[in-house]
Amino acid sequence: MADKVKVGILLAGGCAGCEMALVDLSERLVDALDALEIVFWAPTAADVKYKDLEAMPDDFIDVGFVDGMVRNSENKHTVEVLRKKSKVLIGYGACAGLGGIAAMGDLHTQEELFNTAYKDSWSTDNPDGVMPTPEYTLEGKYDLTIPSFTDRVYTVDELVDVDYFVGGCPPHHEHVMKAIELLLSGQLPAKGSWLTGGKAVCDVCKRNPAETGETRRPVGKVYRMIDGQPDPDKCLLQQGYICFGPITQGDCGSACLSANVPCRGCGGPLPGVKDYGARCLQTIASALADDASTEELMAKYPQLAKFVYRYSYTTGKIDRKTPAA
């Protein structure tokens, strides 16, 4: 048998949801294992340590997957090591390519984040106000270190070369199978592309007014999900439930829409969209009827930046609030 394709999977600053999505492939992943050999999957699934990765020769891994953003010095180091050891590196999931949920933290200062995490939340019991310190000497003789926080969230491609991206939070099975099939077939697009079908969520959504033969109307009233129950068959945007389907890649098969939940853009931007949040504004503003409904939108979503950049703040244009550490 020919050599198996060596695969390495690294969880950087993510939540392990992407890894769960891989495991969710279940039988299909087991079948793929005939052709794949997993040489590294840490810190989640395989019993391989970072030092084993560091000991591998350069370009030893055929395809490296990184999921999660870079949030601390450990993420930064392991991502750089994996890049050296991999022939092809894939940014896997919304965090790796766009910054993901954690990137919304960049709308706050580091002090605000730490205070919320270690002092102010109601479930925190920290009377001495102990904060994480990257370096600590225990009992005067043991030098202990933990990874230090980076000045802001980085996407993987800001630090190292990334060959391809896969969207989704987490990537839907179809995203994953599409990527694996493309990899095995060798028919890969240009470097730096997203491995996707290239269609918008609206394109695959059954509620699309173009599918149902309805005429599109301007949206006069804006609703949030807590305001009521949307009609399960009609376009959510038309009903006033703000949906990011028009500019998001639809490899998910409009999964959220099928559950009567509006798209929030985890699939990644359509090709040609550089600043996801700004394009969101443009699309939504065009759908709204007048200035009054725009005012209403702003009143209902007081944190507009967090709303439109839920998964993509790092790729936004002016994300420099946090002063460099």
Q: Which residues are at the interface with other proteins (CB under 8 A)?
A: 107, 274-275, 277-279, 281-282, 284-286, 288, 290-291, 294-295, 297-298, 303-306, 308, 316-321, 324
In whole angstroms, give the CA distance from residue 317 to residue 325: 20
In whole angstroms, give the CA distance from residue 175 to residue 179: 6
* Class of residue 234 by CB neighbours under 10 A (exposed 0-12, middle 13-18, buried 19+): middle
> From the centroid of its chain, how far is CA 66?
11
Minimum CB–partner distance for residue 116 and other proteins (Å): 17
In whole angstroms, give the CA distance from residue 176 to residue 67: 13
Residue 195's nearest CA partner among 185, 182, 208 is: 182
Residue 152's nearest CA partner among 108, 93, 119 is: 108
User: Does the bond joining 302 to the residue before it have cis omega, within 30 degrees of 0?
Assistant: no
Minimum CB–partner distance for residue 220 and other proteins (Å): 13
Q: Is-contact 29 98, C-beta < 8 A?
A: no
* CB closer to other proteins, 90 vs 288: 288
Minimum CB–partner distance for residue 102 and other proteins (Å): 16
Strands 164-166 and 149-154: unpaired
Minimum CB–partner distance for residue 322 and other proteins (Å): 9
Minimum CB–partner distance for residue 273 and other proteins (Å): 8
* CB closer to other proteins, 109 vs 121: 109
Length of the chain equals 325
Q: Specify which residues 66 forms β-bridges with.
A: 10, 91
In whole angstroms, give the CA distance from residue 105 to residue 113: 7
Minimum CB–partner distance for residue 276 and other proteins (Å): 9
Minimum CB–partner distance for residue 293 and other proteins (Å): 8
* CB closer to other proteins, 251 vs 319: 319
Q: Is-contact 280 311, C-beta < 8 A?
A: no
Q: Which two tokens stand for residue 231?
A: 């009609």
Minimum CB–partner distance for residue 191 and other proteins (Å): 23
- SS3 of 51-90: the string is HHHHHCCCCCEEEEEEECCEEEHHHHHHHHHHHHHEEEEE
